[in-house]
Amino acid sequence: MMTRMLSNRMNILYLLVAGFLALLPFVYDSRSLLILLSQVFIFAVLAMSYDILLGYTGIVSFGHAMFFGIGAYTVGVFMKRFEPETSYFLLAVLVTILLTAVVSYFVGLLTLRLKSHFYAMLTMAFAGLFLVLAEKWRTVTYGNDGFTFRVPDFLKDRTDFYLICLGSMVIVFILLRRFTNSPLGRVLQAIRENEQRTESLGYSVLQYKIIASVVSGVIAGIAGILYAVSLRFVNTSVFTMDITLDALLMTIIGGVGTLVGAIIGAGIIEFSHHWLTELAKVHWIFERWIIFFGIIYILAVMFFPMGIVGSLQKLKFRKKKKLEVSVESEAVSQGDS
């Protein structure tokens, strides 16, 4: 009963926050803030996709950027080669979903038999393969220089695009929350906790891991689409290790295994990056903002070893246990009297 009440309170809180963010561009007209928040929403989608692997299945991947890059290049190539119309954009979204699903399936089939760091290194090799392909296939990708492209009219207005990014993040959060709370999601969490025991219960661990890989890859591809559209430009940087590391940091700082933690982590990383970059105009020492960024990360790990949301959940659990113990002790004392 208490768990259900707590869940209802959290749902109301999520609804209030989403409503506030939806109304924000109409009450506070700041182009720079809208752009920054749009980036937060985009990387929140990417971080949630990575959380499915790391937080719910216990898989560490160093090649997650390959799916992000596939989405970015797919929409870029479609908008570059064809007219920037809504129909072609939707076709690019569909092709991205198909491509990321197929690639994540075969990559998972080839790599998920390996354990821990062996799998991580092989996924990094696959991401490197896509990076080299993007650099060498210049007739399509224009190499390291990249290319600009036009977008459909409904994506040109920054407020409309902001709302689309917000809506995408909310929809992905709802779908992944439903996915992780489903029987399939429970099996994935069992694999994370004890893979051998889960396999001994009769579950095909490899198949469940591949399902998690496909879901994660498709969501990452959608994040790549939004990222490319936000810049209206794409180059090989979308396949680099930096993208994967960003997703990893966002997930860890926010709290692994908590989808809302991925959103909070994305906000912290993006706002920290923005503020530290702005401080470079104040004093030259802040030009080395990556050092301060590393300090922020170290402090976050020191004071929140389970991530921000994970640490708060642990604190709440301890308080709940203390309350239950005190109630039981009172009941025992009253019974003795």
Residue 285 phi/psi, 5° resolution?
-65, -30
> With bands split at pLDDT 50, 70 and 90, how would you rate the model's confidence at 335?
low
Q: What is the pTM of this model?
A: 0.89
pLDDT in tens, 182-196: 999 999 999 988 888
The pLDDT of residue 6 is: 55
Gap between the Cα atoms of 5 and 92, Å rounded: 42
196 to each of 189, 202, 206, 207, 209, how far by Cα in Å?
13, 10, 12, 14, 13
> With bands split at pLDDT 50, 70 and 90, how would you rate the model's confidence at 42?
very high
Tokens found for residue 240: 């680099």
| For range 118-143, the mean pLDDT | 89
Buried b (16+ CB within 10 A) or exposed e, 181-206: eeeebebbbbbbeebeebeeeebebe
Gap between the Cα atoms of 190 and 76, Å rounded: 39
Q: Work out the number of other CB atoms within 10 angstroms of the CB of residue 39.
A: 22
pLDDT in tens, 280-296: 677 666 666 667 677 77
Gap between the Cα atoms of 60 and 109, Å rounded: 16
Answer for the pair 215, 179: CB distance below 8 angstroms, yes or no: yes
Average pLDDT, the chain: 86
User: Residue 162 above 60 pLDDT?
Assistant: yes
DSSP helix/strand/coil, 37: helix
The pLDDT of residue 288 is: 66
**Residues contacting residue 16 through CB under 8 Å, at least 6 positions apart:** none
Distance of CA 34 to the CA centre of its chain: 19
Gap between the Cα atoms of 284 and 25, Å rounded: 33
Tokens found for residue 153: 């009219």
